[in-house]
Structure 1
């Protein structure tokens, strides 16, 4: 298993409120929100708490979900304790390879994609107003990209004392590439462009940089974070 990752401030934002972590078979991205650098704090705290949470000894999916819920509690508590952090929140999308399966926990509009045998599939569903309108057929995918409420989330970490966490489980296959990314990528780079990069046999770090570069080619109005987990064709998906 190989991993490539990049996080970038973009061209318009004064600071980077995104973050990512990778350790062993666990990877995650987060996109913070809140003024006065509170977004940076929210994403960093969420990632730190998740990666400190014990993930062994219980069912893999429930362990991952529990880690995300604990991250939510910590971000929420901090937002109540410090006036300068009031109202801060963050997305969190995390993936772990365990026992031959991808386990993905998700809150917000950062995304997980699975690239397999030439096909790119969006695994997670955005928790956003625009995603709901799209699902209802009230707007098109093209209209969603320019919609005035495209950044309005319906679910995020830190806003309430508890949060509903979406959990996905997929069989892992040798050759898979799992992409985790924030909306700084998907807001400006279409899925077919992402697929064109992932279909190449480049190392995941090269692909991550190329995806971030595509966001810059389109003005990179937001922070951009990309993590690619590559399960090489000659490797076993049966990670512990």
Structure 2
């Protein structure tokens, strides 16, 4: 399994509050994590980078026997996110400079063809193959609530003045309940994790065209980020692109 990680400050921001990383254990067990921080320059950057670092450190200490069953992997993944939430919440409450900080957090744990995704916020995970682009996660956003209730259309959501309001973030509340998704990956399906700096700019058709092109994985990742910048680049842009199962794991 191959992967590429790329984060970019964009064209308008002075600080990159996104963080992204992929961690690997023996036998091809992989954890991909991406986060979009909020709460001011210092708070947002601290929240996202700390979330990625802490969950990665916990993952790298694991014994493979702890991940043998899907129930074990799900339990570990949720508890790891809850641990990060408690850490960030306590830090924010004990340090004035971090008051109000939080972060989105997508964590995809892959073992063989099994993929578990923990989701909080409005960063996204997509499964992409020749059949199309499937958004695995559901945004925890104000606009998505309006969409679900039928109050606005998808076209109205795309330009809604409150489209960046998120209703759930890691570190913003004492307790949190992540969404958990289980998907099966096959030899033709790519997994794309991204922050809204990409998903707000690049539509599904262009995503599919780029990801399924003949370019190598690094070039595909760079093309996605470049396209988001060409279309305005108002936000930080982060992408993790994971190739279909069966490919050898390579470091970016």
Identify whether the pair has TM-score above 0.5, normalized to the shorter chain: yes
Asked if 1:190 corresponds to 2:195, the answer is: no
Asked if 1:145 corresponds to 2:145, the answer is: no
The 4+ residue runs of structure 1 with deviation greater than 6 A are none
Partner of 1:148, secondary structure, is: coil
Task: Pick from 175, 189, 206 the counterpart of residue 162 of structure 1.
Answer: 175
The equivalent residue for 1:179 is 192
Partners of 2:228 and 2:247 in 1: how far apart? 31
Give the number of aligned pairs.
236
Superposition TM-score, scaled by structure 2 size = 0.89
Task: Pick from 139, 150, 170 the counterpart of residue 126 of structure 1.
Answer: 139
Task: Pick from 221, 230, 251 the counterpart of residue 208 of structure 1.
Answer: 221
Unaligned 5+ runs, structure 1? none
Unaligned 5+ runs, structure 2? 25-29
The equivalent residue for 2:53 is 48
Partner of 2:191, secondary structure, is: strand
Partners of 2:146 and 2:42 in 1: how far apart? 31
Greater shift after overlay, 190-199 or 103-112? Answer: 190-199
Q: Are the counterparts in 2 of residues 18 and 29 from structure 1 also a CA contact under 8 Å?
A: yes
Superposition TM-score, scaled by structure 1 size = 0.93
CA RMSD of aligned residues (A): 1.6
Q: Are the counterparts in 1 of residues 121 and 139 from structure 2 also a CA contact under 8 Å?
A: yes
Question: 1 or 2, which has the higher helix percentage?
Answer: 2
Partner of 1:37, secondary structure, is: helix
Partners of 1:197 and 1:235 in 2: how far apart? 19
